[in-house]
Amino acid sequence: MKETIYETRDYGNFVLRLQYVNTKPSEISADYQPAIVVCRPKRTQSRSAWIIMLSSAFKYVDDPKKGGHSFYMQAASQQICRMLGLSETKEQAFAIAEAILANLEDLINMPPVNWQPEPIADIQASIDGKHIEATVH
């Protein structure tokens, strides 16, 4: 669903989208959760996607003991290459891993799907004789 896409970032032969994913598609009331979706650009025929829900993002964090990507991230980035039909080189898997890591903080900071900013203040002004009222968020 296009209306659930928060932001799209193009990395050339793959795209990373921050979007809201329905975790209960079979139910009437949707439960949209923030997620990273790794997929191919629209110009390709692939419709596969790898979804990283906010609740599982911790699995993709670097391993400070190893000084590099976590085992989970290494395995996942190789599977993403395979699933999307990309070359299964170390360089391609590394590029995917780096893109995911670069966007984890943005995933964490995504507002809830129906989030509305809290009003800070109501203001009134007169500009060129016209009275204007507004709410600052």
Domain spans in the chain, listed from the N-terminal domain onward: 2-136
Position 128 scores a pLDDT of 74
- Rounded CA-CA distance 106/36 in Å is 9
Position 32 scores a pLDDT of 78
pTM over 0.75: no
Which of the residues in the chain have pLDDT under 70? 1-3, 23-30, 66-67, 113-126, 131-137
Q: How many CA atoms lie within 13 A of 115 on its CB side?
A: 13
Position 1 scores a pLDDT of 43
Task: Answer for the pair 63, 71: CB distance below 8 angstroms, yes or no.
Answer: yes
Q: What's the distance, CA 37 to chain centroid?
A: 6
Position 4 scores a pLDDT of 79
Residue the block writes with tokens 């025929």:
45
Position 137 scores a pLDDT of 46
